[in-house]
């Protein structure tokens, strides 16, 4: 059983600055960042019963916040693909006018292609991670994919934070080179 507990009474004091700084870098809008942090706290309150204590309270809140940021970008990007088309028409010499047509992208258009592409990318990423040295791959997955806290990873592998970032940098560089050869 884990010793990590959850105490929402201290969230604002303990985590609001950290969560805000994490968010502002990703959304570059102060009001949106504040809203996303607030939504994170509300979502955390609603799902407190799901907290298993496998990670620290802060790590758990960050994982909720990451989903909120993704949802934010999905929402603003869902309006892409819309276009207005103004067409001049003349039915006869006396009546002339404009016709405004709004075209909305078909959400099902290209889904099969996107799914295949995502599956291929997933396989390429998995293969590239498999080519990393074992320790580097484990640390890369814990930090980048699973979102573990730096301190937790450092404790797990008995390394310093600066060593962790060197390992992450090397893994990212190797992953970029591998994906460039095997994916692009």
Q: What is the DSSP letter of 9?
A: G
For residues 144 and 174, is the Cβ–Cβ distance under 8 A? Answer: no
- Structural domains of the chain in order of their starting residue, each with its CATH number: 8-77 (1.10.1740), 113-183 (1.10.10.10)
Predicted confidence at residue 51, as pLDDT, reads 83
Predicted confidence at residue 181, as pLDDT, reads 83
How far is it, in rounded angstroms, from Cα 4 to Cα 60?
10
91 C-beta neighbours (distance < 10 Å), count = 8
How far is it, in rounded angstroms, from Cα 3 to Cα 37?
25
Indicate the pTM of the whole model: 0.44
Polymer length in residues for the chain: 184
How far is it, in rounded angstroms, from Cα 19 to Cα 41?
10
**pLDDT tens, the chain, 184 aa long:** 455 678 888 999 999 999 999 888 888 889 999 999 999 999 989 988 888 878 888 888 988 999 898 888 888 776 554 444 444 444 555 544 444 444 444 444 555 455 555 677 778 888 888 999 999 999 998 888 888 888 889 988 999 989 999 999 999 899 888 888 876 5
H runs (alpha helix) in 85-160: 111-131, 134-140, 150-157
Predicted confidence at residue 170, as pLDDT, reads 93
Sign of the dihedral defined by the CA atoms of residues 141, 143, 148, 150, in that order: positive
């Amino acid at each position: 059983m884990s010793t990590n507990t959850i105490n929402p009474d201290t969230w604002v004091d303990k985590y609001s600055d950290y969560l805000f700084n994490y968010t502002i870098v990703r959304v570059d809008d102060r009001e949106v960042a504040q809203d996303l942090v607030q939504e994170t706290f509300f979502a955390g309150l609603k799902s407190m019963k799901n907290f298993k204590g496998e990670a620290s309270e802060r790590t758990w809140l960050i994982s909720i916040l990451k989903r909120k940021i993704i949802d934010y970008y999905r929402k603003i990007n869902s309006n892409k693909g819309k276009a207005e088309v103004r067409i001049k028409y003349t039915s006869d010499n006396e009546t002339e006018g404009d016709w405004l047509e709004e075209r909305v992208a078909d959400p099902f258009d290209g889904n099969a292609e996107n799914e295949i592409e995502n599956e291929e990318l997933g396989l390429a990423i998995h293969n590239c991670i498999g080519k990393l040295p074992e320790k580097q791959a484990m640390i890369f997955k814990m930090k980048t994919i699973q979102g573990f806290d730096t301190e937790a990873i450092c404790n797990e592998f008995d390394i310093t934070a600066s060593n962790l970032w060197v390992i992450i940098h090397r893994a990212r560089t190797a992953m970029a080179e591998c994906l460039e050869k095997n994916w692009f």
